Amino acid sequence: MEKTFLMVKPDGVQRNLIGEIVSRFETKGFKLAGAKLMNISDELAKQHYGEHKDRPFFGELVDFITSGPVFAMVWEGENVISTARNMMGKTNPAEATPGTIRGDFGLTVGKNVIHGSDSLESAEREVNLFFSKNEILSYEKQD
């Protein structure tokens, strides 16, 4: 079954949005396969955001994502990657539709509450970067 990596960013944790965000994916019908509250090291941040290393905001991105705990998650389900992206809304909260997570809770493109993998390749890479095999659980759950 398809898996994606989702992460409540430091602003979302500070603003007590973990429960709200987990609830949206649970009620949608996806299955939580792994989750942890963690601090991101400088090294992990640079690996995770490697594709943005030449962007002018790279330093800011790394500083922000390492500024406090994040809530990292693996979610599973049919078309979970694209559906989760739709539920998150556009990267820039100013352009995100109300009803989406960023549309409802985000303010700026940097502090946009949540990260989610954008493709099958990045989902596999990000799940493996943040989670070891034994942290991802396989279990039966009713639809």
N- to C-terminal Cα separation, the chain: 14
Whether 77 contacts 1, CB under 8 Å:
yes
Specify whether 52 is catalytic.
no
Asked if 61 and 49 touch (Cβ cutoff 8 Å), the reply is yes
Per-residue mark of binding to ligand CMP, 47-86 (x: CB under 6 A): -----x----x--xx-------------------------
Identity of the residue numbered 52: H
Q: 100 labelled as ligand-binding? A: no
Interface residue with ligand CMP among 109, 125, 135, 136 (CB under 6 A) is: 109
Q: Which of 40, 115, 117, 127 is catalytic?
A: 115
How many angstroms separate the CA atoms of 118 and 134, rounded? Answer: 24
Would you tell me which residues interact with ligand CMP (CB under 6 A)?
52, 57, 60-61, 91, 109-110, 112, 115
Catalytic residues: 115
